[in-house]
Each structure stands twice: as structure tokens, then as C-alpha cells.
């Protein structure tokens, strides 16, 4: 797709083919700022390169032009020379470099493998976090357009053929029966919630009239408010929590390693003295390459 778009850009904007061009064609120019075709495509993340449309590319170019117009006007007014702006730019640069260094040394969350033993341990130690706040149910449904078809299906339904009948008659595709989520009863239509609540586990409701048609529901499980979520329900959440902890630990390890190579000095007690309106001069100085016990403790916390 992008080769086609690139060819269009080359023909319409450069008036020549791409194969033999000595330099990348210019897409837009604002004053001394120039956007070339190569720069344009380099700005597109690789993950999006096969999906982005020509319209989105054109909109990007228009946004680039608008930004450059504003940028050049800001320079003309010498806003970048103002002390407050210079300080903000300095802090933005510092934050950007810190984030980039961290990103280059951190393993992406999706690539971190959390052992099952740690997931189970976290679940066991934090069960209070996984208590259900509402009544929930897990169920399958067959949704038909008309009552006659729904009554026919209800007469055929058994525990063994529910999924096959759903695949044949339901206007709503059946879910993967290995990964059916629990649903909060107060978040589904009241008429459906009432029938699900009244039907025993492994039971099947009668035909229920709902907004999109007529449905038959097979209740697979129900859990009351206050019950503990099962591990499989919260496994992904726990995995994300532990992966983030592992990522943060790696960053802290990086910082600890770099700290040993630099002179680090803190005077945290000065903050307390100032808060109490005590003179800052009363604070005892610390050597440039050591931390006070108080400072070390506060940093750890």
C-alpha cells in the first residue's frame, strides 16, 4: 500500500519516478523548514505502516504545516528566549532523555514472562483485592429474530447441543466456550438478569423477549457479591501488576548501578528544617559522595 502511496506522491509532487531521484521529494515547506517524502515515512511507526491510509498521511502533512507555522511565529516573537520557557524546555529535554534511557534499558511489559508460581503467590497473599463487588453470572445465549424460531430452538436444546444450536440459529455469534467471562447482572437488560438470577446453574431459561429479539440462556455459573474471584479470572491483571513490578525493579537496579559511578549528595534534613522555619544553615553538610542515614532511609521508602 505504501509503495502505491509513495508512487502517487512522487508523480504528483515531484513530477518524476522514484527509482532514479537523486533526493527525496519535498512534500511541504514552511519558511526554512522542509518535509520530505523520506522524512514523512520515517515518522510513521512500523506497526502502522501497513494500515495507515493516504487520507491519514495527508492529514499528517497538514498538521505538520500548521505546527511549523505556529513554531516559526513563536521564534519570530522570541518566545523561546523567555526565561520561563527556556526552563520548561530544559526540563522537557531532561525528562525526555530520562524516559528514553529507561525505555532502552527496560524490557517491554508484553515480553516479561511472569512465572505461574509468582502469580499464584500474589493471588494467595492479596485475595482481599479480588472480592466481587456485585453479583455475577457466566452464561451462553441463543438469540433469534422471532419468537417461533426461539420456541423451536428451546424445544431442541440440551446441555450437549447448546453450542451447536447457537452456531446454527443465533444471530449473536457464540463465544469461545473455553473463555466465557463473568457478567455483572446489573449491567445486562433487567428482563435477562431476572431470568438468569432465577435459573439454577447448568439450567436453561425459557424464551426471553429482549430488545434485539428472543433469546434462550444456559446458565453456566453464578457467583454472589462478596465471593472471591477465581484465579483464572484475574490472572491477566495479576500478570500485568507483577510485570510492572519487575520492570520497575529493573529500572531501580539500573539507577543503583549508575549511582555508584557518580557523586550523589542529598540534604533532605534541610527540607524538614525549612518546613519548621529553622535556619537552613543549621544543617550539617554531607560529604559529596555519601548519603546520610536519614536520607538513605527516605529514598528507600
Per-residue pLDDT of 242-258, as tens digits, reads 999 999 999 999 999 99
**Whether the predicted pLDDT of 273 surpasses 90:** no
Predicted local confidence at residue 176, as pLDDT: 79
| Residue 162 CB partners (closer than 8 Å, separation 6+) | 140, 142, 204, 218
User: Taking phi first (over 0 means left), then psi (-120 to 50 degrees means alpha), and beta for anything else, what does residue 283 get?
Assistant: beta
The confidence band for 274, taking pLDDT boundaries of 50, 70 and 90, is low
Best mean pLDDT range from 53-57, 71-75, 278-282: 71-75
Planar angle of CA 139, 164, 159, nearest 5 degrees: 55
**Whether the predicted pLDDT of 70 surpasses 60:** yes
> Any idea which fold 132-223 has?
Chitinase A; domain 3 (3.10.50)
**Tens digits of residue pLDDT in 101-146:** 998 888 888 888 999 999 999 999 999 999 999 999 999 999 999 9
**Whether the predicted pLDDT of 271 surpasses 70:** yes
* Closest to 139 measured CA to CA, from 197, 208, 87, 212: 197
Tell which wins on pLDDT, 173 or 301: 173
As a whole number of angstroms, the distance between CA 210 and CA 22 comes to 66
Domain ranges of the chain: 2-81, 132-223, 231-300
**pLDDT, averaged across the chain:** 84
The confidence band for 22, taking pLDDT boundaries of 50, 70 and 90, is low
The confidence band for 13, taking pLDDT boundaries of 50, 70 and 90, is very low
As a whole number of angstroms, the distance between CA 194 and CA 81 comes to 67
Amino acid at each position: 500500500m505504501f509503495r502505491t502511496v509513495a508512487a502517487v506522491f512522487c508523480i504528483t509532487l515531484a513530477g518524476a519516478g522514484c527509482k532514479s531521484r537523486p533526493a527525496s521529494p519535498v512534500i511541504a515547506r514552511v519558511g526554512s523548514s522542509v518535509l520530505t517524502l523520506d522524512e514523512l515515512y520515517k515518522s510513521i511507526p512500523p506497526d502502522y505502516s501497513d494500515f495507515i491510509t493516504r487520507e491519514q498521511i495527508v492529514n499528517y502533512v497538514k498538521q505538520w504545516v500548521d505546527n511549523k507555522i505556529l513554531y516559526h511565529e513563536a521564534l519570530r516573537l522570541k518566545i523561546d528566549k523567555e526565561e520561563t520557557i527556556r526552563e520548561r524546555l530544559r526540563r522537557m529535554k531532561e525528562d525526555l532523555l530520562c524516559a528514553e534511557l529507561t525505555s532502552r534499558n527496560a524490557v517491554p511489559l508484553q515480553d516479561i514472562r511472569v512465572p505461574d508460581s509468582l502469580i499464584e503467590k500474589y493471588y494467595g497473599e492479596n485475595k482481599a483485592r479480588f472480592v466481587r463487588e456485585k453479583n455475577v453470572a457466566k452464561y451462553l445465549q441463543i438469540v433469534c429474530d422471532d419468537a417461533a424460531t426461539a420456541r423451536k430452538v428451546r424445544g431442541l436444546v440440551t446441555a450437549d447441543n447448546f453450542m451447536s444450536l447457537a452456531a446454527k440459529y443465533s444471530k449473536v455469534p457464540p463465544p469461545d466456550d473455553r473463555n466465557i467471562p463473568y457478567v455483572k447482572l446489573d449491567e445486562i437488560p433487567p428482563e435477562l438478569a431476572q431470568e438468569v438470577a432465577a435459573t439454577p446453574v447448568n439450567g436453561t431459561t425459557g424464551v426471553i423477549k429482549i430488545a434485539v429479539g428472543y433469546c434462550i440462556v444456559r446458565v453456566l455459573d453464578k457467583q454472589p457479591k462478596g465471593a472471591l474471584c477465581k484465579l483464572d479470572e484475574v490472572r491477566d491483571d495479576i500478570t500485568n501488576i507483577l510485570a510492572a513490578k519487575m520492570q520497575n525493579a529493573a529500572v531501580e537496579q539500573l539507577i543503583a548501578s549508575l549511582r555508584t559511578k557518580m557523586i550523589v549528595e542529598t540534604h533532605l534534613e534541610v527540607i524538614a528544617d525549612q518546613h519548621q522555619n529553622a535556619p537552613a544553615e543549621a544543617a550539617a553538610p554531607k560529604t559529596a559522595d555519601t548519603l546520610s542515614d536519614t536520607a538513605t532511609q527516605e529514598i528507600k521508602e
